[in-house]
Amino acid sequence: MSDYSFEYFTVRFPTDQQYVAHVEINRPERLNAFIEVMWLNMAKIFNKLSSDPSVRAIVLSGAGEKAFTAGLDVKAASEGLLSSETSTDPARKAAFLRRHILEFQECITAVERCEKPIVVAMHGFSLGLAIDLSTATDVRLCSRDSKFAVKEVDIGIAADIGTLSRLPKVVGSYGWVKEIALTAREFGAEEALRVGFVNGVYDSREATVAAALKLAKLMASKSPVAVQGTKEILNYSRDHSVQDGLRYTSVWNGAALQTQDVSAALLSGLQKRVPTFEKL
Amino acid sequence: MSDYSFEYFTVRFPTDQQYVAHVEINRPERLNAFIEVMWLNMAKIFNKLSSDPSVRAIVLSGAGEKAFTAGLDVKAASEGLLSSETSTDPARKAAFLRRHILEFQECITAVERCEKPIVVAMHGFSLGLAIDLSTATDVRLCSRDSKFAVKEVDIGIAADIGTLSRLPKVVGSYGWVKEIALTAREFGAEEALRVGFVNGVYDSREATVAAALKLAKLMASKSPVAVQGTKEILNYSRDHSVQDGLRYTSVWNGAALQTQDVSAALLSGLQKRVPTFEKL
Amino acid sequence: MSDYSFEYFTVRFPTDQQYVAHVEINRPERLNAFIEVMWLNMAKIFNKLSSDPSVRAIVLSGAGEKAFTAGLDVKAASEGLLSSETSTDPARKAAFLRRHILEFQECITAVERCEKPIVVAMHGFSLGLAIDLSTATDVRLCSRDSKFAVKEVDIGIAADIGTLSRLPKVVGSYGWVKEIALTAREFGAEEALRVGFVNGVYDSREATVAAALKLAKLMASKSPVAVQGTKEILNYSRDHSVQDGLRYTSVWNGAALQTQDVSAALLSGLQKRVPTFEKL
Amino acid sequence: MSDYSFEYFTVRFPTDQQYVAHVEINRPERLNAFIEVMWLNMAKIFNKLSSDPSVRAIVLSGAGEKAFTAGLDVKAASEGLLSSETSTDPARKAAFLRRHILEFQECITAVERCEKPIVVAMHGFSLGLAIDLSTATDVRLCSRDSKFAVKEVDIGIAADIGTLSRLPKVVGSYGWVKEIALTAREFGAEEALRVGFVNGVYDSREATVAAALKLAKLMASKSPVAVQGTKEILNYSRDHSVQDGLRYTSVWNGAALQTQDVSAALLSGLQKRVPTFEKL
Amino acid sequence: MSDYSFEYFTVRFPTDQQYVAHVEINRPERLNAFIEVMWLNMAKIFNKLSSDPSVRAIVLSGAGEKAFTAGLDVKAASEGLLSSETSTDPARKAAFLRRHILEFQECITAVERCEKPIVVAMHGFSLGLAIDLSTATDVRLCSRDSKFAVKEVDIGIAADIGTLSRLPKVVGSYGWVKEIALTAREFGAEEALRVGFVNGVYDSREATVAAALKLAKLMASKSPVAVQGTKEILNYSRDHSVQDGLRYTSVWNGAALQTQDVSAALLSGLQKRVPTFEKL
Amino acid sequence: MSDYSFEYFTVRFPTDQQYVAHVEINRPERLNAFIEVMWLNMAKIFNKLSSDPSVRAIVLSGAGEKAFTAGLDVKAASEGLLSSETSTDPARKAAFLRRHILEFQECITAVERCEKPIVVAMHGFSLGLAIDLSTATDVRLCSRDSKFAVKEVDIGIAADIGTLSRLPKVVGSYGWVKEIALTAREFGAEEALRVGFVNGVYDSREATVAAALKLAKLMASKSPVAVQGTKEILNYSRDHSVQDGLRYTSVWNGAALQTQDVSAALLSGLQKRVPTFEKL
């Protein structure tokens, strides 16, 4: 696989990490703040990786030392989506805004729908959209210097791209989420670890990215049938009752258990060697 | 705003905390134990504050040094709701009990439905109904001397006013809730903090109330459009799938993003001054 | 009650723990690994205990020093369920597999549906099926030497007997579950306690079983009407909205509050003596 | 029972129809069009009848020859709820409108929540709110001259008091509802009968009311435990899966089957006489 | 296949209807009224047929000229389930009743869960349980002399074995179901056809059974992969949103479309001959 | 607006039907059977019309005298999606199929998500995909010569593009849908009208298209704020409980009721003239 890039994004395929793709947000001069082309491109990238058979796990991080992403580029937004013009009829303006929010949400949901597991490595400013985005991935790691905040109430809005729907289900505790979201107060790496928002804290951006790549490599070494099935069933279960989750699983595994990966994995286990699996 | 009171409740408007209301349970001679008039009055108070435009955040606490509330006044209940008389036909008695439970539940739900964020400051005995009530608020703080228990199984009943439905969603961990609810064992402030039941522990009743007022003041300083939207969407998301949460948010923000608070907040941010927002 | 046994299971009624049953998985020579007869027998045992009026709480543990259970007996499975024969038509093979998965799931669900509270005491190897099984119980305890893993991706499959549906709801944190399930990495007692998977860690298998029996005894000393109602309503609430939970509770307690246990419990409280309750 | 009235409503207790209440909308000079006091009063009436033990079935009809109700009093509404004043901030105006809609919806839902079965007798103009209101009752009858329409799109709004949520579930066919609601076209008694919106068509207002009273009398002659349980379970089932419906029913009947009405009904059946049942 | 019988049931395999099983309720001397052994046996039969590869469609009918089934054997029930003895504690009696209702419901649900399509042929008295039972099948046919009623309110109970949950979803119209269930009035074949309760009306019991066998034979001539998948997805969709239905279907067909039946069916279509399909 | 076309589709803007778009499936030489490019193009067209402010209602029909559409082009499908090649690992093939089904479903769902109401005019062969497609529109009309069938079981598959999820909710009656889907039998215009699948039957293709255009014109003459809101809320309500539907409606109308269309509509009503509404 050769590396490629989309505007404000780089996609690399580390040669020592087979089946791993590394997506980097690349607008460091503006603290990786998001403008519209960026979320559209991000969706394109994750849709592409989702069906790319040479990818089995993905790392997402931000370029530059200062920020994973400072969130929405508020200056650009206040001239665009949040500007006060367009229509003078409040009902029509509401329709216009709703369509734009749905489109934006759909781009973040593309990250969640990506069939391959995603590990996000955050550092420095990780505000607003950083939370929306990272809660759509599977595992969150961060560096010790991370500064997190659900920043939206500070600009007069309720977060609408995913944080309020996904963050409580990521961490479990509604009490903590309520405080964080209603005050927009900053929290750091230690608090993020304690409440379960991140799975690990590392000393620097580099160490965090390295840990994310290592974790992704581990996931990429397993049967992709098993890994992708596990991700899908966990996502399904989040939004359904246990009985529904069990029923869905039984149908999913009706096909998945027919894979040759099971015997490959079992045999490798007995022979103490690394199994190889067909692409998916 | 001038202070007012309902039987067993005082509502104050601290002069140094603009837009903050402080509701105090006021039956200290009986450890703030609840009798029927109290839950009816509490619902009235929170319904009133919900639509009072001069209120943006609320603190709830209990008068007296010994208890936030010792829970249901069991003596009164055993002469009323839990008495063995009324009907001899079990089906008719069940109908009578069900209506009363629904009415009681509705009073606690009035706290949850209040559109303004609520910070509860608990201390001393905080048993039974204290858990039902506090899980219907948004953020829980407590003093170091707090004694919590889901006390209901000790009087032969399953908690039916909200604890069993809301507590697991507040803390995330079903394992801990099962133990606490099936044994009625007491737990203290540190355990409450560790499992995420409370967001902070303070040295005394006074310090807890002060911290709650400070937190409420911070919430009250933000755009009420943003804060009330955030509370509503988080409550909605608790009971719905992520996709449903996103759809609801897009409709909500179709109207909310048209607020003048966004430009007020953005401008204040640039000008480094405190924004003012129209009442809501 | 006299003790009895089913193939690979022993059910004991400790004489000093009234109303407590102790179920032991008994295939220590194979690390208590499960073959088909075991999950069928386990379902039979828990169905029987569910309606046995002389049982009010249950402890589940594994015989032998090395393992609670090492999970599915992979060797047996690879000759049975996971074997590559039976049908050559993938659709028919899928139907065959789906029926078997549903039947297996149903056996684990029998543990969850058991009306009496269950405390599980785990030790040593507690892999794969150990997680499926323990998340269907109410409270999890473990010894310090426990080695846990959601092992399934290592044999090429997505866990399908309950872990992916139940574990996230037990611990609350999806982030941690994703990491554990996508990597199959082992975790120990301390991590299990920190994330809320277990409620307590003890020094040895014996100490863990003793603690579980003590906890079960405590639950068994309470009103069975209250305890069984609490378990049922908590299980219902896990899969429903708060409003639905409240409605269900009001109907449940319409009958349950008519119990004589309430006055028995209240009276005993006043008289400082241990109440006795009719069987259920 | 003596008759009573609320502003714009009369509640009668026909002497020849034991246990039946007859509620009449009484503003014939304005075609029974609704103003705010009317929906507030209507909710009060149905809440009162819901727990009145001397009522077992209810008939709802409209006074005057011309209309059951012509719907919302648009003139009053355009000066009130739909007026363009109040706030100039669209987000604040949205909050104001939302609160009013919820309050209005709550009044219609009070009709649905009434524990006693309701038969509505419609005639003449039965527009807009007439549909919202009648879909919250249990059985709909109408006279041959009825003129129905989901009128809201003709005044520039989507029906928001219940029609769009309840009508499709009453008639089953979404195709017909879409046409009716998107065109606001009038439909008559025959079409209403064919699609299942009404259960019967009668020659005149008088004949319709008489048929409704007869049907209500029949319902009132049955065990109130059975009738009220049947209504509640059907309402619950509308919004839940079959499995959930079955589970709820099992809990409901755990109490209800203990009624003495069962033996009273069985005995009367054997003795060919009319059973009498205790009040509920 | 040779015919077999269970107490009160006969299972025949008509020689001229390949892959069709005919289940007959056989207690004509008591109008096929159900006692406990009958619902337990019925569940056993349908569980057996569900996984019997030589069965592709099933007909269910009642022996004797007078009744499909007159419903629950009330005399037996009043001495058993509905008797007033057992426990004097209403909460314990409620638990006892609830367990029995759940067990009974589970037997009817076994009919719904049967993977093969079921056509029921009703005639004569088809009361109470006849409705519960027939709504758990797939297609309902009846003879002109059928007498239907949701009879339960006449014996003082709300129908709890399935009618109130399933009937509204079978016919679509809640209005008609409310009338029928709240009055217990009888309805005939023509009304049943008009509201969609039955799919066809025939002149006699014999003609109805013959039509059911013909319909079952037609279903049995199709690909069993396609037919069983269609039944399962329709049952799933009844209780889920359209989006959930689509997602479930996509997983189901991921395996099912790999069947050799597709090419067999396509080839037969081109060659104008009857396809043969492997057993399932 | 000038007409345009996509491969196999024509989009016209009838000059005498302001705000109405007419989409025609245009592959009459193959009975309008669908190949992959067609569903992709259809999604593009409806996405475009959804946000085109000069369109307020849409008619969908098929070119040629013989068929609305004969469904999936089975010959093309059997060389593509349904071919037996690609992968030999059943789990990987299942993943491949699932992705294709989801993509195909998404194209049909684009029709349902189109914000403008859609009237479909069917004639002649309207098989398989014709049902999937038409159930994603709002109102169905057909000519007397229509031949409908849920054809999928005849080619060995369960319908997976929408019919099994949407058709039961369109017609209400599960009984009829089960028969139709499990037998693949043809049904005609009269039966389609009787069960509520179509809203009207016309004498010819031309008459059906004319009626559809007339109906669309009527919808297009109403306030687009009201019409689009009505469609959205009805679609939402189909998949949610009544309480959820009411809550969603209250938020939607918080913005929508602020439209100037309300006063425009009211004023026009008083002045007996046709209102004009701003684009949306």
Chain A, 146 to 165: residues with Cβ < 8 Å from chain B are 152-160, 162, 164-165
The Cα–Cα gap between C141 and C119 comes to 7
pLDDT of res. D79 = 76
**pLDDT by 10-residue block (mean), chain F, 280 residues:** 94 96 98 97 98 97 98 84 69 96 97 98 98 98 98 94 96 95 98 97 98 98 97 97 97 96 89 90
pLDDT of res. C75 = 85
Give F223's contacts in chain D (Cβ within 8 Å). 153, 156-157
Q: What is the mean pLDDT of chain D?
A: 95
pLDDT interval class at A166 (50, 70, 90):
very high
* CA distances for D88 relative to A81, A90, B259, C217, angstroms: 20, 10, 9, 64
Q: What is the mean pLDDT of residues E83-103?
A: 87
Of all residues in chain D, the one with the smallest CA distance to B228 is: D95
The Cα–Cα gap between B110 and B45 comes to 9
Please write the tens of the pLDDT for every residue from B250-270. Answer: 999 999 999 999 999 988 888
Question: Around Cβ C174, how many Cβ atoms within 10 Å?
Answer: 25
Q: Is D53 helix (H, G, I), strand (E, B) or coil?
A: coil
Residue of E89, E260, E261 lying closest to C278 (CB–CB)? E89
Q: At what angle do helices A261-271 and A224-238 cross, to 10 degrees?
A: 120
Interface touch F91/A258, C-beta < 8 Å:
yes
Maximum separation of any 2 CA atoms in chain D, in Å: 72
pLDDT of res. D7 = 97
Q: Which of the residues A20, A171, A241, A257 would you substitute to probe the C interface, choosing the one with the greatest number of C C-beta atoms within 10 Å?
A: A257
Residue of E240, E251, E258 lying closest to A251 (CB–CB)? E251
pLDDT of res. E76 = 85
Give B237's contacts in chain F (Cβ within 8 Å). none
Q: What is the mean pLDDT of residues B73-81?
A: 80
The Cα–Cα gap between A140 and C175 comes to 7
Instruction: Please report all neighbours of A, defined by 3+ CB atom pairs within 8 A.
Output: B, C, D, E, F
Structure token digits, residue C247: 């409605």
Q: What is the mean pLDDT of residues A211-218?
A: 98
Decide if pLDDT at A86 tops 60.
no
Amino acid at E259: T
What would the 3-class secondary structure string for chain C be? CCCEEECCEEEECCCCCCCEEEEEECCHHHCCCECHHHHHHHHHHHHHHHCCCCCCEEEEEECCCCEEECCECHHHHHHCCCCCCCCCCHHHHHHHHHHHHHHHHHHHHHHHHCCCCEEEEECEEEECHHHHHHCCCCEEEEECCCEEECCHHHHCCCCCCCHHHHHHHHHCCHHHHHHHHHHCCCECHHHHHHHCCCCEEECCHHHHHHHHHHHHHHHHCCCHHHHHHHHHHHHHHHCCCHHHHHHHHHHHHHHHCCCCHHHHHHHHHHHCCCCCCCCC
Containing A118, the helix (H) or strand (E) segment is strand A118-122
pLDDT of res. F236 = 97
pLDDT of res. B202 = 98
**Residue E137 near chain C (CB below 8 Å):** no
Decide if pLDDT at E86 tops 90.
no
**Residue E97 near chain B (CB below 8 Å):** no
The Cα–Cα gap between D31 and D65 comes to 9
Interface touch F215/D183, C-beta < 8 Å:
yes
In terms of Cβ atoms closer than 10 Å to its own Cβ (0-12, 13-18, 19+), residue E157 is buried
Amino acid at D97: L
Q: How far is CA C99 from the centre of its chain?
A: 23
Please write the tens of the pLDDT for every residue from C124-164. Answer: 999 999 999 999 999 999 999 999 999 999 999 999 999 99
Give A171's contacts in chain C (Cβ within 8 Å). 172-173, 175
Q: What is the mean pLDDT of residues D99-110?
A: 97
Containing D119, the helix (H) or strand (E) segment is strand D118-122
What would the 3-class secondary structure string for B196-251 be? CCCCEEECCHHHHHHHHHHHHHHHHCCCHHHHHHHHHHHHHHHCCCHHHHHHHHHH
Of all residues in chain D, the one with the smallest CA distance to A89 is: D90
Q: What is the mean pLDDT of residues A73-79?
A: 83
Give B90's contacts in chain E (Cβ within 8 Å). 90, 93-94
Please write the tens of the pLDDT for every residue from C224-268. Answer: 999 999 999 999 999 999 999 999 999 999 999 999 999 999 888
**Residue D90 near chain C (CB below 8 Å):** no
Decide if pLDDT at D39 tops 90.
yes
Please write the tens of the pLDDT for every residue from C16-57. Answer: 999 999 999 999 999 999 999 999 999 999 999 999 999 999
Interface touch F249/D158, C-beta < 8 Å:
yes
pLDDT of res. C277 = 96
Interface touch C266/B155, C-beta < 8 Å:
yes
Q: At what angle do helices C242-256 and E90-113 cross, to 10 degrees?
A: 130
What pairs with residue A58 in β-bridges? Answer: A21, A118
Phi, psi (deg, nearest 5) at residue C139: -135, 135
Decide if pLDDT at C84 tops 80.
no
**Residue D245 near chain C (CB below 8 Å):** no
Decide if pLDDT at E167 tops 90.
yes
Contacts of residue E75, defined as CB under 8 A and 6 or more positions apart, other chains included, come to none
Interface touch A95/B171, C-beta < 8 Å:
no
What would the 3-class secondary structure string for chain E be? CCCEEECCEEEECCCCCCCEEEEEECCHHHCCCECHHHHHHHHHHHHHHHCCCCCCEEEEEECCCCEEECCECHHHHHHCCCCCCCCCCHHHHHHHHHHHHHHHHHHHHHHHHCCCCEEEEECEEEECHHHHHHCCCCEEEEECCCEEECCHHHHCCCCCCCHHHHHHHHHCCHHHHHHHHHHCCCECHHHHHHHCCCCEEECCHHHHHHHHHHHHHHHHCCCHHHHHHHHHHHHHHHCCCHHHHHHHHHHHHHHHCCCCHHHHHHHHHHHCCCCCCCCC
Going by C-alpha positions, the residue among E98, E39, E100 that lies closest to residue E71 is: E39
Q: Which residue has the higher pLDDT, D103 or F77?
A: D103
Give B230's contacts in chain A (Cβ within 8 Å). 152-153, 158-159, 164, 181-182
Interface touch A248/E252, C-beta < 8 Å:
no
**Residue D72 near chain F (CB below 8 Å):** no
Of all residues in chain C, the one with the smallest CA distance to B86 is: C258
Instruction: Please report all neighbours of D, defined by 3+ CB atom pairs within 8 A.
Output: A, B, C, E, F
Give D79's contacts in chain F (Cβ within 8 Å). none
Give A226's contacts in chain F (Cβ within 8 Å). none
Ranking B18-32, C111-125, D257-271, F236-250 by mean pLDDT, the lowest is D257-271
Please write the tens of the pLDDT for every residue from B122-179. Answer: 999 999 999 999 999 999 999 999 999 999 999 999 999 999 999 999 999 999 999 9
Give just the sign of the alpha carbon dihedral B242, B244, B248, B254: positive
The Cα–Cα gap between F150 and F159 comes to 8
Contacts of residue F32, defined as CB under 8 A and 6 or more positions apart, other chains included, come to F25, F26, F62, F63, F64, F67, F68, F69, F70
CB pairs under 8 A between C and F: 6
CA end-to-end span of chain B, whole Å? 15
Of all residues in chain E, the one with the smallest CA distance to D119 is: E179
Q: What is the mean pLDDT of residues D24-38?
A: 97
Q: Minimal Cα–Cα distance from F83 to chain E, Å? A: 9
pLDDT of res. D60 = 98
Interface touch A258/F225, C-beta < 8 Å:
no
**Percent of chain E with pLDDT strictly greater than 90:** 90
Instruction: Yes or no: say if A66 and A29 are a contact pair by the CB < 8 Å rule.
Output: no
Q: At what angle do helices B224-238 and B261-271 cross, to 10 degrees?
A: 120
Concatenating the DSSP letter of every residue in A219-243 gives: HHTS-HHHHHHHHHHHHHHHTS-HH
Q: Minimal Cα–Cα distance from F144 to chain D, Å? A: 18
Q: Which of the residues F86, F92, F96, F116 would you substitute to probe the A interface, choosing the one with the greatest number of A C-beta atoms within 10 Å?
A: F92
pLDDT of res. E87 = 66
Q: What is the mean pLDDT of residues D218-229?
A: 97
Give C252's contacts in chain D (Cβ within 8 Å). 251
The Cα–Cα gap between D180 and D188 comes to 12
Maximum separation of any 2 CA atoms in chain C, in Å: 72
Contacts of residue C133, defined as CB under 8 A and 6 or more positions apart, other chains included, come to C60, C69, C108, C111, C120, C162
pLDDT of res. A5 = 96
Contacts of residue C277, defined as CB under 8 A and 6 or more positions apart, other chains included, come to B156, C223, C224, C225, C261, C264
Question: Around Cβ B91, how many Cβ atoms within 10 Å?
Answer: 31
pLDDT of res. F79 = 76
Decide if pLDDT at E36 tops 90.
yes
pLDDT interval class at B212 (50, 70, 90):
very high
Give D236's contacts in chain C (Cβ within 8 Å). 247
Ranking B178-187, E170-179, F80-89 by mean pLDDT, the lowest is F80-89
Domains present along chain E, CATH in parentheses: 4-220 (3.90.226.10), 224-271 (1.10.12.10)
pLDDT of res. C81 = 61
Interface touch C98/A251, C-beta < 8 Å:
yes
Residue of D89, D90, D280 lying closest to B92 (CB–CB)? D280
Containing D92, the helix (H) or strand (E) segment is helix D90-113
Give just the sign of the alpha carbon dihedral F138, F144, F146, F148: positive
The Cα–Cα gap between B17 and C128 comes to 54
Instruction: Yes or no: say if C209 and C61 are a contact pair by the CB < 8 Å rule.
Output: yes
**Percent of chain B with pLDDT strictly greater than 90:** 90
pLDDT of res. A270 = 83
Please write the tens of the pLDDT for every residue from C58-83. Answer: 999 999 999 999 999 988 887 766 66
The Cα–Cα gap between D115 and A237 comes to 36
Give B258's contacts in chain F (Cβ within 8 Å). 255
Interface touch A165/B261, C-beta < 8 Å:
no
**Residue B248 near chain F (CB below 8 Å):** yes
Q: Which residue has the higher pLDDT, E66 or A173?
A: E66
**Residue F243 near chain B (CB below 8 Å):** no
Decide if pLDDT at C202 tops 70.
yes
Please write the tens of the pLDDT for every residue from B94-120. Answer: 999 999 999 999 999 999 999 999 999
CA end-to-end span of chain A, whole Å? 15
Q: Minimal Cα–Cα distance from D23 to chain B, Å? A: 23
Q: What is the mean pLDDT of residues D128-157?
A: 97
